[in-house]
Structure formats: structure tokens, C-alpha cells
């Protein structure tokens, strides 16, 4: 199976990153959002990301124009019918995702692979909403998408072998990232492990073991992390971390997945990280640390 046109449903942080990365790999991307206003906001963020790369001489002005020219802004889901694959990246809300998959199943021909970027939800449950559950698979990209060369390829209960092989080929050959095969389990591998680390960092902060800066520096410098766990949480979105922790706590019933009280307080206060400009650290409108 060849891939040339990819649909991306949801133009939030992950949708923007995935669309930009796919376009940079030479693929045509149809980026879908419910309103033109949200699409324009996403477009601005993609331009900001590309401009930052321009400043570092990572790309040229011509490459920037080419990448943007490959991204088509869409507000009508029916226009994704001719894509070779559709990747869903809407918020981690099971009912919203189910609705998206029901609609995609209706408008996309049976040969089109339907993938979800979910980090904690059940692919099998999403696939059950469709008439062709064998074509549903998980593609969990990590933030920041352009820099992290790993993708979790998650098999739902009824994912077809041919769909898995085609998806693995897409990941490793078309977009040239490393794919790991994961069988469905809450949090898969990356979310399950990183959320426990982030949660423990919050416990250490609330117990005044060290400052937020020193906790992050300990892991960033000592263990070669790109971001420390607290800044990582800010960039993921503290509300997203809380939702993931609560879901894994319900599923596993293990206290190690119980969210830190500090995390709950931050979310209740509306300090969600880069998306609000204030989390464990402060950020400007471009998402850079102040």
C-alpha cells in the first residue's frame, strides 16, 4: 500500500505537529478542524514552528513554503474520503473519539486505514464503533513530533495483520521513524511509564525535596532528558496528564497511578502549562520558557 495523502482530524498541539511532520516528509496533508477560526490558529502555530527552524537554519524559506503548500485546511470531514490514511488527534475524550470514528467509517472506503493518536483510550472500544474494526489501529506519536523518532503502533483486538504491516511500513519507510509494536493496555508503554515519573516529580516538589528547576535539571542533565519531568508535564498539558493518570488508576487500581494532589490543584487553578502560559513554569505565546 502506498501513502501520499493523509488526513489529520484535530488541529490541536499534536495535530499541528503531525501535520507539519507529514508535510515535511513530502506527503499531502488534509488538516481538519471544526471551525475556520481554530484552523487559522493551528496554521499560525505551524508557521511559528517553521520560523523557529528557519532561525536555526534547519530549513530554507523555500522548504517552508513547500511544507505549507502541502497542508490543506479542511472543515468538512467528508472531504477526507480520498485519503490513504486518516489519523485522529482530537482531545482524549472517549465519546468524541467514538463519534469521529463512526463518521470516518461512513465516509472512508474500507481500504483506508483509520488510526488514532490516543495515549490511554481503548483502540478496541473505538474500533467497535465501526463496521470495519480490522482497519482501526493506534499511532501514538510523542511530543514534539518532529524531534521524537519513535511511534507506538498499537494493535486493537481485531486489527488486521495486513493493516498492521502496512502501518509499520508507513512509519518506518514513509515517515522514517522507529515503530514499536504494542498490544492494547492502558497507557501503552510510553504514557504508562512517563506519567509515573511525572507524578513522582510532583510528589517530590510538594514534599519540598527540591525546587521545580532543580528537579528538572536533575533528570535533564543527569539522565539526558530533553525536558525535565515538570516541563514535560507543562508541554503535554497538566489536564491531559491528570486525565491519563485517573484513567490508569481506574483501570489498574494501583496506587502508583493515583494523581498527585498538587497536579489536581494546578488543574483546578487553570494552570495547565504552555497552553495557558502558566504551569510549573511560565511560557510566552510561542511556548518558549520565560
pLDDT digits (tens, 9 = 90+) for 161-198: 999 999 999 999 999 999 999 999 999 999 999 999 99
Question: 73: annotated binding-site residue?
Answer: no
Query: 9 phi and psi, to 5 degrees?
Result: -100, 115
Distance CA 281, CA 175 (A): 33
The answer on whether 49 is annotated among ligand-binding residues is yes
Annotated catalytic residue within 152, 184, 200, 251: 152
User: In order of start, what are the domains of the chain with their CATH numbers?
Assistant: 5-183 (3.40.50.720), 192-268 (1.10.1040.50)
> What pLDDT is stored for residue 285 in this prediction?
82
CA 53 to CA 48: how far, in whole Å? 9
Question: Phi and psi at residue 241, in whole multiples of 5°?
Answer: -65, -45
Number of Cβ within 10 Å of residue 80's Cβ equals 22
Nearest by Cα to 247 from 203, 189, 185: 185
Quote the CA–CA distance of 134 and 160 in Å, as a whole number. 5
The C-alpha cell at 219 is 533528570
Q: Does 119 appear as a known binding residue?
A: yes
Instruction: Mark whether 125 is an active-site residue.
Output: no
* 195-234 pLDDT tens trace: 999 999 999 999 999 999 999 999 999 999 989 999 999 9
The mean pLDDT of 131-142, rounded to a whole number, is 97
Amino acid at each position: 500500500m502506498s501513502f501520499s495523502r493523509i488526513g489529520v482530524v484535530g488541529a490541536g498541539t499534536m495535530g499541528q505537529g503531525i501535520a507539519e511532520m507529514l508535510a515535511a516528509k513530502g506527503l499531502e496533508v488534509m488538516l481538519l478542524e471544526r471551525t475556520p477560526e481554530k484552523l487559522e490558529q493551528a496554521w499560525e502555530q505551524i508557521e511559528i514552528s517553521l520560523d523557529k527552524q528557519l532561525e536555526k537554519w534547519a530549513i530554507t524559506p523555500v522548504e517552508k513554503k513547500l511544507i505549507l503548500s502541502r497542508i490543506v485546511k479542511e472543515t468538512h470531514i467528508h472531504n477526507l474520503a480520498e485519503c490513504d490514511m486518516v489519523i485522529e488527534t482530537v482531545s482524549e475524550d472517549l465519546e468524541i473519539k467514538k463519534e469521529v470514528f463512526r463518521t470516518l467509517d461512513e465516509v472512508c472506503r474500507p481500504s483506508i486505514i483509520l488510526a488514532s493518536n490516543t495515549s490511554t483510550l481503548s483502540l478496541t472500544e473505538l474500533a467497535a464503533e465501526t463496521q470495519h474494526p480490522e482497519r482501526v489501529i493506534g499511532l501514538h506519536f510523542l511530543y514534539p513530533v518532529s524531534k521524537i523518532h519513535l511511534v507506538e503502533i498499537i494493535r486493537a483486538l481485531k486489527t488486521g495483520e495486513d493493516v498492521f504491516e502496512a502501518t509499520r511500513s508507513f512509519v518506518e519507510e514513509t515517515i522514517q521513524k522507529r515503530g514499536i509494536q504494542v498490544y492494547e493496555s492502558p497507557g501503552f508503554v510510553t504514557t504508562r511509564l512517563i506519567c509515573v515519573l511525572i507524578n513522582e516529580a510532583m510528589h517530590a516538589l510538594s514534599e519540598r525535596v527540591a525546587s521545580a528547576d532543580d528537579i528538572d535539571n536533575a533528570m535533564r542533565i543527569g539522565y539526558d532528558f530533553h525536558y525535565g519531568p515538570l516541563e514535560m508535564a507543562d508541554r503535554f498539558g497538566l489536564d491531559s496528564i491528570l486525565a491519563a493518570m485517573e484513567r490508569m488508576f481506574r483501570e489498574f487500581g494501583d496506587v502508583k497511578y493515583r494523581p498527585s494532589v498538587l497536579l489536581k490543584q494546578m488543574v483546578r487553578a487553570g494552570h495547565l502549562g504552555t497552553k495557558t502560559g502558566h504551569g510549573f513554569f511560565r511560557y510566552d505565546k510561542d511556548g518558549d520558557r520565560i
